[in-house]
Structure 1
Amino acid sequence: MEAIRSQVDRLVRAMGVLHGDLSPDAMQQLVLAAVFLRHVSDVPEDVAQGRPTWEDLVRQVPGPDFAQSVLHRALHAWSGDYGQLRLDLDDEAVLGQLPFGSRRMQQALGDLIAVLDQAGRARTMADLYEQCLARFSEDRAGGEYYTPRDVVRTMVRLMAPASGDEVYDPACGSAGLLTEAARYVEMHDGRPMDRTEPTLLLFGRDVNARTRRIAAMNLILHGLDEDLHRDLDSDDSLLYGSEPGEKYDIALANPPFSMSRWQDRIDGQFVPWRYGPPPKSNADFAWVQHVLGSLKTGGRAAILLANGAAFRGGAERHIRAGLVHDDVLAAVIQLPPGLFPHTRIPACLWVFSKSKRAHAKNRVLFINAQDVGVQVSRGRRALTDEDIARIVRAFRGGSEHGEADEPGWCRTVTLDEIEAADFDFLPARHVAPVAAEAEPGDDERRVRELTDELYGHFAEAARMERELRDVLGAL
């Protein structure tokens, strides 16, 4: 993995020469397209069927018209149909920014091709692609379509998909949740040797065309182009409200946190909401209701939401009450701050089930995991394998045995108790902390954690202030 991170660093340095010529988004798109091109074009000439092979590209790198002619032609030639996916690589919005004929452009693209030429084949490209996505998110660019791997693994392990499941992501971004679901099934159920039948049936939707292209490349690199039931859907999921009309076994979602002005996109249309209309200033519970409406009778879901969704009042409190009365909420897991590089807003992971076991009915498991994880950089934390296993173990205890109670960590709460708490779902409200003796360095670490959490509250407060000003301005 360190070797792959080193390759990503070299790719970013190579493109850094074009800083000021290319926007950060265009740079990301070009790097990702080049990684994909390395994978699909690294074939013999008879397989290429007239399209330029990777060897052709490497041989022509020194040429003065490499970017304007050779690279452009290769990206165009390798666009097309891959299983259920249609992929267009030659994005003029990106290529049009290249300073054709300049020495620094030749240097940057030459270095880019050289780094990729030294990289391995097949699965290595999928890993390199994922590490590029992670790096772009660390740079606070591209975070809107990338979910950190530790969070993705936690969500998928909680859902435990099995062969034949239909898995849906209504805001699929780079398709990280879908690829991890397939990886989980491959590890636990085994991948059919002949691959005549898909391991999973995958369904993804994202309203952003460039994001869908990133997702398509990721799925193809992981060999999942045949597992998609159809091409990635371009519709806005929220247009379907709580009645999307298609039913899935599992839904996984990391939608934009506390998205404001979301109703501007659906004004003038009737959209049904089972638990009541979400506030116009915040789409969190529009996503929740859409996810629930997408599930089969026995379906289950995991969705990431900003902490504020657990306790805000008004229409959101009314919706939370409806979720409790329908008994579809299985667990709420409070995550540590600093997991998401592109935002300081703290988050909770909500788990839903439409088929709770008898002993888990009329109960919700709350897990307070806000103090777990390890510091990986300034302001950034990550869940360890042990943290993920502990969260999953607590969830299994609650869902399979109906009771899970560990002081300071988790507690199973009755619906009556949740109603008495005014439908506040924040785990810290229901799981009392345990006093512990401080160890050397604990105070400094805790100050950093609280600082990150405070920044998250500042961000949430600033967003709410903007929304209030919008409302007051409209009066």
Structure 2
Amino acid sequence: MVASELRPQVDRVWNAFWSGGIANPVEVIEQITYLLFVRRLDEVYTSQLRAMGRGIAVGQPVFPDGVDERGRPYNDYRWREFTNRSPQEMYEIVGEHVFPYLRRLGAEGSSYARNMKDVRFTIPTPALLAKVVDLLHDIPMEDRDTKGDIYEYMLGKLATSGTNGQFRTSRHIIRFMVELMRPTPEDRIVDPAAGTAGFLVAAGEYLREHHPEIQVDAGLRRHFDTAAFTGFDSDASMARIASMNLLLHGVENPTMERADALAEGHLGGGDYTLVLANPPFAGSLDYETTANELLRVVKTKKTELLFLARMLQLLQNGGRAAVIVPDGVLFGSSKAHKELRRILVEDHKLDGVVKLPSGVFKPYTGVSTAILLFTKTSSGGTDEVWFYDVRADGFTLDDKRTAIEANDLPDALTRWLSLSKPASPELDRPRTAQSFTVPKSEIEANGYDLSINRYREIEHEEVEHRSPEEILDELDALELEIAEGLRGLRAKLRGAA
């Protein structure tokens, strides 16, 4: 979470928009993001100038020499330049020059260019722009971690989250899922319901931390900046915000497309090695809007089941996935629910089920959820399924979600990683433990039910009861004691009279 001293600064930026007449939270996020991106471009350009000063080739500079078609020097597009102009001149530079430049900045045909072609500058007055720029200027954005925290805090202000089955996934849950999957520099990672690209950003941060060779190997760096990250979202605003989020986190040319992952259309079937996602589970869709290739796998209107079918289609054989699903996917009794679970267990390799506490997505929703961990094989491979019951995730399970010490996520990660080692203790844990494994044959016999409570054994503590005779003797003694007390009390009362 963004440091407490920075949070009020971000709140002041947000409140400036609201008091200035922009009340749509998505629009606020977009306008802030565009300005942060312009500031980021100036940072990149400054680095390019330093490199060129040392004789290092940098390719195409962010801001070319000379002037634009209206005679304005490109140098005026820089954050450090226009923020020192009068409010009126700054408003003209940003609205009439910088934003049109943003629309044509991406490579022709790139997802950035497609997402940014509709970029609009909607700040209504020079005074509001000047106020927002001053507030943003005071927020330190040099450190990538701080920049990411600030951006995540702003994304958390999306008041519309939680509608239509969509809600923001907490960063610590995203990070936990990324660590479970351990992305590699060669992975092609996809999120078919990307939202603001939280999973893709976290995967990028994991790769930077655990694979520093990306920074020195030109081929790995090129893959990281281009093919490693792909996201789809049906909402144009979310696609734009996601593109900017990835760019602000140092991914130079990700693929972030506006597309409905459940509709007809080619999303790159079999192109990906890792899925990380928390797809919406709003309920039902019309068959007419759903891809026939998905309905052939599982005939349903349930979005959570259709997204799982799409993920299997997106992955190549050997590709793996960590996906958040509502509990109903684990034990739903409909034909579609049972068939989808059968496909995961019999046709592919279901690796694990991590049960999450029911309050983990509050205040957006109190729905119970779990993380499915599976590998696409198209030839089976499930021998045993690992179950873990997360009872605490480091935060209270009420609407406030206050940080606490109790946190099972590190233990769950440690136990999961131990499964790949010989003679893992996870294989022998009793069904009364917080984690245990269940053989495929037992899951099959239970109609492919994946609820942890189906297989958990409750350990009843043996209580030793006293004999009836002993209890009666104790009652006799108490009655004698009470009778003796009453006699003494009567004697005292007579003496007082």
Partner of residue 389, structure 1? 410
| Match of residue 215 from structure 1 | 242
* d(CA) in 1 for partners of 2:315, 2:457: 33
Match of 1:180 in 2: 202
125-134 or 401-410: bigger deviation: 401-410
How much does 1:159 deviate?
A: 0.6
**2:184 paired residue number:** 162
1:296 maps to which of 316, 339, 352: 316
From 1, 7, 11, give the equivalent of 1:5.
7
Distance 1:404 1:91 in 2: 57
| 1:326 maps to amino acid | D
Alignment RMSD: 3.5
Match of 2:259 in 1: 235
Distance in 2 (CA, whole Å) between partners of 1:323 and 1:193 is 37
1-structure distance, mates of 2:458, 2:90: 61
CA distance in 1, matches of 2:242, 2:129: 23
Does 3-12 or 313-322 show the bigger shift? 3-12
1:28 to partner: Cα distance: 2.3
Q: Give secondary structure in 1 for the equivalent of 2:26.
A: helix
| CA distance in structure 2 between the aligned counterparts of 1:424 and 1:241, rounded to whole angstroms | 32
Find the counterpart in structure 2 of residue 463 from structure 1. Answer: none
Higher relative contact order (CA 8 A, sep 6+): 1
Greater shift, 245-254 or 282-291, is seen at 245-254
2:471 corresponding residue in structure 1: none
**Structure 2 CA distance for aligned equivalents of residues 261 and 141 of structure 1:** 15
Q: For 1:228-264, what per-residue CA distance to the aligned partner results, in whole angstroms no more than 9, with x for missing partners?
A: 3xx3233322236999523322111111124422534
1:411 to 429, 436, 448: 436
Match of 2:100 among 71, 76, 85: 76
Shift in alpha-carbon separation, 1:70–1:189, aligned structure 2, 3 A = closer
Question: 1:34 matched to which residue of 2?
Answer: 35
In 2: Cα distance, 1:39 partner to 1:6 partner: 22
Match of 2:63 among 48, 51, 67: 48
Q: Which residue is 1:320 aligned to?
A: 341
Identity in percent = 26
Q: 1:47 to 1:217 in 2, by over 3 A?
A: closer
SS at match of 2:209: helix
* Partner amino acid, structure 2, of 1:110: A
Question: After the TM superposition, which residues 423-442 of structure 1 pair with which residues of structure 2 at under 5 Å, given as runs?
Answer: 423-432=448-457
DSSP 3-state at the match of 1:350: strand
Q: Which residue of 2 aligns with 1:373?
A: 394
* Aligned counterpart, 1:134: 156
Residue 165 of structure 1 aligns with an amino acid whose one-letter code is D
CA contact (8 A) 2:275 2:315 kept: yes
Aligned residue for 2:374?
352
Q: Check 1:92–1:272 CA distance in 2 against 1; reply closer, same or farther (3 A cut).
A: closer
Partner in structure 1 of residue 488 of structure 2:
none
Partner of residue 139 from structure 2, selected from 110, 116, 119: 119
In the TM superposition, residue 216 of structure 1 has moved relative to its aligned partner by 0.8
Instruction: Give the secondary structure class of the aligned counterpart of 2:280.
Output: coil
Instruction: Please state how far the C-alpha of 1:119 moved relative to its aligned partner.
Output: 2.2
| Structure-1 separation of matches of 2:163 and 2:84 | 33
**Corresponding residue of 1:86:** 112
Q: Would the aligned equivalents of 1:368 and 1:427 in 2 still touch at CA under 8 Å?
A: yes
SS of the residue corresponding to residue 158 of structure 2 reads helix
Call closer, same or farther: CA 1:377–1:412 in 2, change over 3 Å: closer
- Structure 1 segment 454-469 matched on structure 2, within 5 A: none
CA contact (8 A) 1:171 1:254 kept: yes
CA deviation map 1:28-86 (0-9, x unaligned)? 222222222222245459853315111233223533x7557644532222333446542
Query: Are 2:285 and 1:261 equivalent residues in the alignment?
Result: yes
Asked if the contact 1:374–1:382 (Cα under 8 Å) also holds between the matched residues in 2, the reply is yes
Q: What CA distance in whole angstroms lies between the structure 1 residues aligned with 2:63 and 2:406?
A: 41
Question: In structure 2, what residue type is equivalent to 1:410?
Answer: S
Q: Tell me if the contact between 1:372 and 1:387 (Cα under 8 Å) persists in the aligned partners.
A: yes
CA separation of 1:382 and 1:396: change in aligned 2, threshold 3 A: farther
State how far apart, in whole Å, the 2-side matches of 1:404 and 1:81 are: 57
Residues 40 and 78 of structure 1 are in contact (CA less than 8 Å); yes or no, is this contact kept in structure 2?
no
The 3 A distance-change label for structure 1 pair 242 and 404 is farther
| Counterpart among 326, 333, 344 of residue 354 in structure 2 | 333
Letter in 2 for 1:38: R
- What is the CA–CA distance in structure 2 between the aligned matches of 1:225 and 1:385, rounded to whole Å? 38
| Structure 2 length-normalised TM | 0.74
**Aligned CA distance change for structure 1 residues 69 and 197 (closer, same or farther; 3 Å):** same
What's 2:491 paired with? none
The change in CA–CA distance for 1:175 and 1:237 in structure 2 (over 3 A counts) is same
Once residues 432 and 93 of structure 1 are traced to their aligned partners in structure 2, the CA distance between those partners, rounded to angstroms, is 58
The alpha-carbon distance between structure 1 residues 169 and 335, as it changes in their structure 2 partners (threshold 3 A), is same
Match of 1:343 among 359, 362, 365: 365
Cα distance between partner residues in 1 of 2:281 and 2:164: 15
Q: Distance in 1 between matches of 2:316 and 2:263?
A: 19
Q: Please give the alpha-carbon distance, in whole angstroms, between the structure 1 residues aligned to 2:419 and 2:185.
A: 24
Aligned residue for 2:147, secondary structure, equals helix
Q: Which residue of 2 aligns with 1:467?
A: none
2:78 and 2:460 mapped to 1: Cα distance? 63
For 2:451 and 2:265, locate their aligned partners in 1 and report how far apart those are by CA, in whole Å: 25
Q: 1:205 aligns with which of 232, 235, 241?
A: 232
- Asked if 2 retains the 8 angstrom alpha-carbon contact of 1:330 and 1:399, the reply is no
- In 2, Cα distance between the equivalents of 1:32 and 1:141? 22
Measured in 2, the distance between the counterparts of 1:243 and 1:24 equals 29
1:331 Cα deviation after fit: 0.8
Quickly say closer, same or farther: Cα 1:378–1:234, change in 2 above 3 A.
Answer: closer
Distance apart, 1:429 and its partner CA: 3.0
Structure 2 runs not aligned, ≥5 long: 50-60, 65-73, 462-497
2:248 partner letter: L
Shift of the alpha carbon at 1:276? Answer: 2.8
Q: 1:186/1:362 Cα in 2 relative to 1: closer, same or farther (>3 Å)?
A: same
Q: 1:263 to 1:383 in 2, by over 3 A?
A: farther
Letter matched to residue 308 of structure 1? G
SS at match of 2:357: coil
**8 Å contact kept, 2:356–2:391:** yes
